[in-house]
Amino acid sequence: MITLTRAAAEQIRKSAQETSLEGLSLRLAVKRMEDGSFDYGMGFDAETEDDLRFKSEGVNVVVSPAYMEMLNGLTLDYVELEPGSFNFIFLNPNDPNYTPPGDG
């Protein structure tokens, strides 16, 4: 399962509207780097027949089955990391560099 926070979903909808990409799903991907860490990707894309589909906070999310083992349990959030600087963060218990919120 993949979950979006309310803040992430709002920003995704806003971005889709600003770029005239409403109607497309949010595609999430991940690549395991040489050091074992995860490198994430996301963007708007059309669904394919093989995609796994999720809906969270009203946003359609698609993932290739090849990435599901690494992404299962992921929460995508949109947070202010520094004053005035908002970013998407991937909270993924499968990521070897993951630290649960409040533990770091």
- pLDDT tens for 20-47 read 999 999 999 999 999 999 999 999 999 9
Pairing of strands 59-63, 52-56: antiparallel
The segments of the chain whose pLDDT lies below 50 read: none
**Residue 75 falls within a domain, yes or no?**
yes
**Residue 96 falls within a domain, yes or no?**
no
Look at the pTM and tell me if it is higher than 0.85.
yes
Cα–Cα distance measured from residue 64 to residue 98, given in angstroms and rounded to the nearest whole number: 22
Domain limits at 19?
3-91
- State the CATH number of the domain containing residue 32: 2.60.300.12
- Tell me, what's the pLDDT at 95? 93
Number of domains forming the structure of the chain: 1
* Cβ-proximal residues to 30 (8 Å cutoff; 6+ apart), any chain: 38, 39, 40, 41, 67, 70, 71, 92
The H or E element spanning position 8 is: helix 6-18
* Cβ-proximal residues to 1 (8 Å cutoff; 6+ apart), any chain: 54, 72, 73
**Residue 103 falls within a domain, yes or no?**
no
